[in-house]
Amino acid sequence: MGDVIVGVRDLSIRYRSKHSLAYAVDGVSFDLRRGETMAFVGESGSGKSTAGMALLKLIAPGGEILGGSIMFDGADVLRMTDVELQSVRGRRMSMIFQDPVTGLNPVLSKGEQVSELLTSHMSIGKKQAAEESVQILADVSLAEPRRVAKSYPFQLSGGMCQRVMIGLATALHPEVIIADEPTSALDVTIQAQILQQLVELRRERGATILLITHDFGVVSQIADTVAVMYSVRIVESGTVVDVLKHPLHPYSHGLLATLPRMDINSQELHSIPGTPPELEEPAEHCAFLSRCQKAMNVCRQQASLPLTPVEGSGNVVACYDPIWHG
């Protein structure tokens, strides 16, 4: 992989409502390297989508960034002005949102929406933008791109809407693409096509991709590295081969154990007992403590361990006893 294009350090975000506080990301650090596909994987509510959207400083109402930095091309995204952010969003970093239908403007045809993106970032006229928008839709393998350009989201299938989203996200050839659960609302056949589209974007344009997902099957197909998130923190990261073949954190092991296996004749489906904690304050101890089958006294008595290299492994893991024997 190439050099670091995005470096995140000690990122912490929380959400405030009238009656409560909830941490969404706590002390998260990671590097995205040029040309790689990195995956964030974890249960719903683990903080992976918030961490990904923070790269574009997209924080939902009620959210506040408590600390940390997101360095992109020598500048901290979190300290950029609105004008500076406009030159980054869409042009240099872009996002494929989770729901392809609600992520598109319902009152604009898809050609108009792509054209609007082009004219807002480039010095071109409406006629040229309209022609280029048709080509952009064709580039993401949409049949009859001129018909699609005249269509509205309710007139398109979920898979077609997702391709339009990919077209919007890649129209300006950004260096970094953040894909938030890009296949979760699609059937298996369309999922494979969308994943192949991402693979081709990386190969043909050299794009760096941050893939946010809960599906280890998707991770194994297209990612190079993976960070496992649990309860707003990264608990393990490494290459896909290392993490999938030799998971070191009990949570990583538990997630992988829930996947059905074709090489074992068993009707039993595994699960992780319990539920993730509600975090009004950052957990002092390991947040997985109440669900862990191998917790030790040190886990209860000491503060949560930061990500630490493990001898003989390429992974880094936040666990006092990272070698799984079960």
SS3 label, residue 311: coil
Rg for the chain (alpha carbons), in Å?
21
Specify the residue for token string 């030790």.
Answer: 296
- In single-letter form, the type of residue at position 118 comes to L
Give me the residues paired with residue 14 across strands. 23, 64
Can you say whether the dihedral through the CA atoms of 286, 288, 294, 297 is positive or negative?
Answer: positive
Report all structural domains of the chain as residue ranges with CATH numbers, in order of start: 4-223 (3.40.50.300), 233-317 (no CATH)
In 17-163, DSSP assigns E strands to 21-33, 37-41, 63-72, 75-76, 93-96
Full-model pTM: 0.92
Backbone angles phi, psi at 308, to 5 degrees: -135, 135
Query: Virtual CA dihedral for 166, 168, 174, 177, nearest 10 degrees?
Result: -40
pLDDT tens, per residue, the chain with 326 residues: 579 999 999 999 999 887 888 999 999 999 999 999 999 999 988 999 999 999 999 998 899 999 999 999 889 999 999 999 999 999 999 999 888 777 899 999 999 999 999 999 999 999 999 999 999 999 988 999 999 999 999 999 988 998 999 999 999 999 999 999 988 767 888 888 888 888 988 898 889 999 999 888 889 999 999 999 999 999 999 999 999 999 999 999 999 888 776 666 666 778 888 888 878 887 788 899 989 988 889 998 888 889 999 888 889 999 998 875 44
- In single-letter form, the type of residue at position 201 comes to L
